[in-house]
Amino acid sequence: MASVALSEAEKVYIVHGVQEDLRVDGRGCEDYRCVEVETDVVSNTSGSARVKLGHTDILVGVKAEMGTPKLEKPNEGYLEFFVDCSANATPEFEGRGGDDLGMEIANTLYRIFNNKGSIDLKSLCISPREHCWILYVDVLLLECGGNLFDAISIAVKAALFNTRIPRVRVLEDEEGSKDIELSDDPYDCIQLSVENVPCIVTLCKIGYRHVVDATLQEEACSLASLLVAVTSKGVVTCMRKVGKGSLDPESIFEMMETGKRVGKVLHTSLQSLLHKEESLGPKRQKVGFLG
């Protein structure tokens, strides 16, 4: 993770501030920075989203391609994740420097989607054992300003909400050979249901308390963090501890409860924003990258 150097006195100041529930930028321990979400920013993808959380900038593109289902799950499609930590984000990612972090984030994404509930993979099946939709989810880190996992999970959910998969029909000949026919209408698509897609809430332990949405400076003061993947109903799909420090089992329990609470609010805000954006229709003014 990108890190900043801080003096001892600065760290002491941050830690004492967190104890008193007043962080450096005036937020409380459970407050998020202002989030900006925009979908449909990349034209040649099936779905895309861009999320800006303070100084963290994430771009996600989803491409739907046809392929063969996996042998152990012949009736389902699947998702493939790839995370690119570009050198734009921070000089540490130059060359192969960002690969480790990219692998870590991709593996976390695989884990949180690795359950029956998150996404309806059966709807991605075209014909069992032969054809299915594979969704390639590509995450690009444009700028690194702390709290990467949360921003990435919000962007992935928004991009999946924006994904439009073309409707196809399987036609069978008398000889038995199958043909896949694409609908004539380019707007005839199926939309995925993202009701149960989880979002990650990162809780960093600073001193005796934990904070949500840590900036780079706060992450430098925290020795241990807990990543909790929560769905909109408050169900925890995955939990992971990162960092060199240790966590007391009681604090893990407290952090998990905070994560569930914060996660539910995160989901309601995101759902309402995505529906609001969709209701503006195709004529809405797109801001994109030059805004």
Partner 1 sequence: MAMEMRLPVVRKRLGEGLGRETKKHLVVPGDTITTDTGFMRGHGTYMGEEKLIASVAGSVERVNKLICVKALKTRYNGEVGDIVVGRITERRRSAEDELAMRGFLQEGDLISAEVQAVFSDGAVSLHTRSLKYGKLGQGVLVQVSPSLVKRQKTHFHDLPCGASVILGNNGFIWIYPTPEHKEEEAGGFIANLEPVSLADREVISRLRNCIVALVAQRVMLYDTSILYCYEASLPHQIKDILKPEVMEEIVVETRQRLLEQEG
Binding of residue 52 to partner 1 (CB under 8 A): yes
For residues 181 and 66, the answer to whether their CB atoms sit within 8 Å is: no
The count of chain residues that interact with partner 1, using the rule CB under 8 A, is 41
Binding of residue 279 to partner 1 (CB under 8 A): no
**The one among 1, 23, 151, 229 contacting partner 1 by CB under 8 A:** 23
**Residue 114: burial class (beta carbons within 10 Å; 0-12, 13-18, 19+):** exposed
For residues 151 and 141, the answer to whether their CB atoms sit within 8 Å is: no
CA distances (Å), 79 to each of 54, 75, 159, 183, in order? Answer: 29, 14, 13, 23
Using CB under 8 A as the binding rule, the residues of this chain from 199 to 218 that contact partner 1 are 212
Q: How far apart are CA 290 and CA 27, in angstroms?
A: 29
Binding of residue 269 to partner 1 (CB under 8 A): yes
**Residue 225: burial class (beta carbons within 10 Å; 0-12, 13-18, 19+):** buried
Q: How far apart are CA 55 and CA 76, in angstroms?
A: 38
Q: Which stretch binds partner 1 (CB under 8 A): 82-90, 173-181, 229-237, 261-269?
A: 261-269
Binding of residue 287 to partner 1 (CB under 8 A): yes
Binding of residue 37 to partner 1 (CB under 8 A): yes
Q: Which stretch binds partner 1 (CB under 8 A): 26-34, 101-109, 130-138, 171-179?
A: 26-34
Which SS3 state, helix, strand or coil, does residue 162 take? helix
Binding of residue 256 to partner 1 (CB under 8 A): no
Binding of residue 265 to partner 1 (CB under 8 A): yes
Binding of residue 30 to partner 1 (CB under 8 A): yes
Total residues found in the chain within this entry: 291
Binding of residue 36 to partner 1 (CB under 8 A): yes
Binding of residue 223 to partner 1 (CB under 8 A): no
In angstroms, what is the minimal distance from the CB of 217 to partner 1? 9
Binding of residue 17 to partner 1 (CB under 8 A): yes
For residues 175 and 163, the answer to whether their CB atoms sit within 8 Å is: no
Q: Which is nearer to partner 1, 123 or 269 (CB)?
A: 269
CA distances (Å), 118 to each of 78, 198, 271, in order? Answer: 12, 7, 15
Binding of residue 32 to partner 1 (CB under 8 A): yes
Binding of residue 259 to partner 1 (CB under 8 A): no
Binding of residue 273 to partner 1 (CB under 8 A): yes
Binding of residue 9 to partner 1 (CB under 8 A): yes
In angstroms, what is the minimal distance from the CB of 5 to partner 1? 4
User: How would you classify the pairing of strands 125-127 and 78-85?
Assistant: unpaired
DSSP state, 51? E
* Residues β-bridged to residue 140: 59, 84
Would you tell me which residues interact with partner 1 (CB under 8 A)?
5-10, 12-13, 16-17, 20, 22-28, 30-38, 52, 212, 261-262, 265-266, 269-270, 273, 276-277, 285, 287, 291
